[in-house]
Each structure stands twice: as C-alpha cells, then as structure tokens.
C-alpha cells in the first residue's frame, strides 16, 4: 500500500492492518516501519513488485496509493482492478491513479450489487 493509505490506519493505532498477509508500504518519506510485520520499500517499486509476481503464492493486492498504482500500471504490473462503488457522493475524492495513464481496455469479469447499494466490479486489464 502507499504511505497515505497506511497512515489512515496508523493514525488510529493500527500498525499491521493485514496481519495474515505479507505487507509492504511504499514510501519515499518514511524512515522506518513502525511494525516488524510491515516492510518499508523506499525505491524501485516496479522491481520489487516484479520480483514478488515471480514468487509462488497468492495474488498481490494493492490497497490505495494513487501514485504507486500509476507507477505499477505504467510498469505493466496491474492485471486486475476491483472497484467498490459507494452510494455516497463526495465533494472531493481520492484518485484511482495519480496523473494520466495510457488508454486501457478492461473486461468486466464479475460484479455484485449489495442490498446497501454498494457495487463491487471486477475487471481484467486487457492486453494490447
């Protein structure tokens, strides 16, 4: 996850938000991780994630981090996007990607509408 996303929980005293997963925080400004279960990555995000994708195991989940998402997307490392639509309009929101990205076709692979009005959309990034 990106630093700003991580700090939301950190400000509430949560230093390890996903204790059942390997956790990485990508930040150029944090000096050290406040939790031994959370590895701090300060450079070479594309190289780090590329290496993780070569390992055996389950999928990699990117939680927040518009700058990180744009970097990984430009590096061709994002192959699925899951969007949760909330039935609330905000005056200002957090971007999915910071800055422009290439025009990309997506294929809807799954969707679910909840009684609360939330919608969960699963997309596969279609190769060029």
- Give me the pLDDT at residue 109, please: 98
Cα separation, 107 vs 126, whole angstroms: 6
∠ CA 21-46-13, nearest 5°, is 40
The pLDDT of residue 100 is above 90: no
| CA proximity to 25, closest of 73, 64, 74, 82 | 64
pLDDT at res. 97: 86
User: Of 44, 15, 14, whose CA–CA distance to 27 is shortest?
Assistant: 44
Q: What's the CATH number where 72 sits?
A: 3.40.430.10
**Confidence (pTM):** 0.83
64-94 pLDDT, tens digit per residue, is 788 899 999 999 999 999 999 989 888 777 7
Containing structural domain, residue 41: 3-125
**For the segment 15-54, what is each residue's pLDDT rounded down to a tens digit?**
999 999 999 999 999 999 999 999 999 999 999 999 999 9
Asked if 106 and 78 count as a contact pair (C-beta separation under 8 A), the reply is no
Give residue-wise pLDDT tens across range 46-66: 999 999 999 998 889 998 788
- Total structural domains within the chain: 1
């Amino acid at each position: 996850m990106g630093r700003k996303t991580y700090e939301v929980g950190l400000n509430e005293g949560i230093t390890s938000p996903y204790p059942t997963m390997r956790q990485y925080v990508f930040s150029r400004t944090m000096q050290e991780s406040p939790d031994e279960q959370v590895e701090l990555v300060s450079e070479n995000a594309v190289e780090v994630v590329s290496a993780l994708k070569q390992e055996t195991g389950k999928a990699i989940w990117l939680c927040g981090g518009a700058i990180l998402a744009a970097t990984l997307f430009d590096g061709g490392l994002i192959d699925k996007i899951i969007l949760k639509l909330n039935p609330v309009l905000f005056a200002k929101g957090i971007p999915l990607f910071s800055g422009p990205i290439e025009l990309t076709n997506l294929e809807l692979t799954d969707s679910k509408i909840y009684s609360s009005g939330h919608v969960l959309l699963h997309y596969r990034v279609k190769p060029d």
